[in-house]
């Protein structure tokens, strides 16, 4: 193989691996060469990217190489990758999220019954923001999808477990549902 082919292969491997990176030994196995040769080729790729690919770098830590973005473009990447959770949730989405958090796993029909209106759009929004996910299917007719909150939900609302949510009263009145909604609204402002 020519040097350019090896660089193309290594850059492809680095790209596909992302944050995980690639170890020298693994690169050697893939290229069917020695570890010292693989390390030398990765170092060549590092120099190539540094001089010819603005905005990217190959970073070596211990025995692992990673393709990373240059620190100078970090502010622009931050704008691009800003979490969609950081945008405000609608009242409907907050209501739906509170219902799911306190009644999970729960199906859309039950959510609709509790809210008194359709929740399809709110559920879609929450799923797109990775605040809820499918928890399986109900054993009832039609096998409807059941929803649950995600780890991302916990992170976004700065709680470590569902037990940290404010307790609902036994009768789960509208007042206690309003308290739960207000809890989510207050935390949403911090996300």
Q: Which CATH architecture has domain 3-77?
A: Orthogonal Bundle (1.10)
Q: What is the DSSP string of 78-135?
A: HHHT--GGGSPPPHHHHHHHHHHHHH-SEEHHHHHHHHSS--HHHHHHHHHTTSEEEE
pLDDT, one tens digit per residue, over 117-127 is: 999 999 999 99
In the chain, what are the domain boundaries?
Answer: 3-77, 84-188
For residue 109, pLDDT beyond 50? yes
Rounded to 10 deg, the angle between the 174-188 and 91-103 helix axes is 110
Only one residue has tokens 């190489």, namely: 65
Predicted local confidence at residue 76, as pLDDT: 86
Checking if the pLDDT of 190 tops 60, the result is no
Of 72, 188, 175, 33, the residue nearest 126 (C-alpha)? 188
DSSP one-letter code for 139: S
Percent of the residues in the chain that have a pLDDT greater than 70, as a whole number: 84
Topology of domain 84-188, per CATH?
A: Arc Repressor Mutant, subunit A (1.10.10)
The pLDDT tens digits of the residues spanning 93-104 come to: 999 999 999 999
Query: Is residue 187 pLDDT above 80, yes or no?
Result: no
pLDDT digits (tens, 9 = 90+) for 24-82: 999 999 999 999 999 999 999 999 999 999 999 999 988 899 999 888 998 888 777 66
């Amino acid at each position: 193989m020519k040097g350019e082919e090896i660089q193309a292969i290594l850059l492809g491997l680095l790209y596909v691996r992302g944050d995980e990176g690639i170890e020298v030994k693994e690169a050697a196995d893939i290229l069917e060469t020695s570890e010292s040769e693989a390390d030398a080729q990765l170092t060549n790729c590092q120099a190539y990217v540094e001089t010819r690919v603005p905005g990217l770098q190959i970073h070596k830590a211990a025995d692992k190489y990673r393709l990373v973005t240059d620190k100078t473009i970090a502010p622009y990447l931050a704008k691009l990758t800003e979490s969609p959770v950081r945008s405000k949730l609608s009242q409907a989405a907050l209501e739906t999220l509170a219902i799911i958090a306190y009644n999970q796993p729960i199906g859309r029909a039950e959510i609709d019954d509790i809210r008194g209106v359709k929740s399809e759009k709110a559920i879609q929004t929450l799923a797109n923001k990775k605040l809820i996910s499918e928890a399986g299917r109900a054993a009832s007719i039609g096998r409807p999808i059941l929803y649950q909150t995600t780890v991302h939900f916990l992170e976004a609302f700065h709680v470590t477990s569902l037990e940290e949510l404010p307790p609902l009263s036994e009768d789960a009145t509208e007042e206690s549902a309003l308290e739960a909604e207000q809890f989510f609204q207050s935390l949403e402002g911090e996300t």
